[in-house]
Structure 1
Amino acid sequence: MDVWSLFVTIAWTVDLNKFRQNLHQFKTVQEVHQALSAVAPKMTNISEMARLDPDMRASAAQMLVKCFDGEGLSTSRNRVPPLSPSKLEITEAEMH
């Protein structure tokens, strides 16, 4: 949950798609999820943090490996699993 919350904080700070400006208009959690789903593809370097399914969402360790070549890890790098492919990546792989 902390990784997802960090993504929300970044989306709010960067204000892509006017996420911050429109925040007061969201009436349901689903509307927030939809807005974040629209922002995530534009933030390709951290989009794995925005996955709603916690089993598919990147961990902090995985993001440290991806974005900072593992700098700051407290876990042995060989214990950090690779990032799971997104549903789009799985679908594209199945088509080929």
Structure 2
Amino acid sequence: MQLAQFIKDNRKISQFYTPFSGTYLLKSPTDLFDLQASFVGYFPPDLFVLAKVNPSEVAGWLNKDVWSWFNASHDNILAQLESASKGIGSGALFS
């Protein structure tokens, strides 16, 4: 199975973006170690790296599409948190 298909099928990954050949930016609701465990069996041991990126601590020069994708969910989560804080106890935080 190709890596792109593996990532598309991986239930631990909610979104992905490939800004450069061989580079995947992944969004996942799970923690880093749970996400890593989902890759066991695809890669031989010691041949991949996952790193958590804090969207508020990123800088660089990329095209606008990459930054739009990168910030999209972060902005949505902040809006959901803000909305949820106004109606605490009214239901689930994330739908």
- TM-score, structure 2 length as denominator? 0.28
Is the helix fraction higher in 1 or 2? Answer: 1
The structure with the larger Rg is 2
- TM-score, structure 1 length as denominator? 0.28
Is the strand fraction higher in 1 or 2? Answer: 2
Greater relative contact order (Cα 8 A, min sep 6): structure 1 or 2? 1
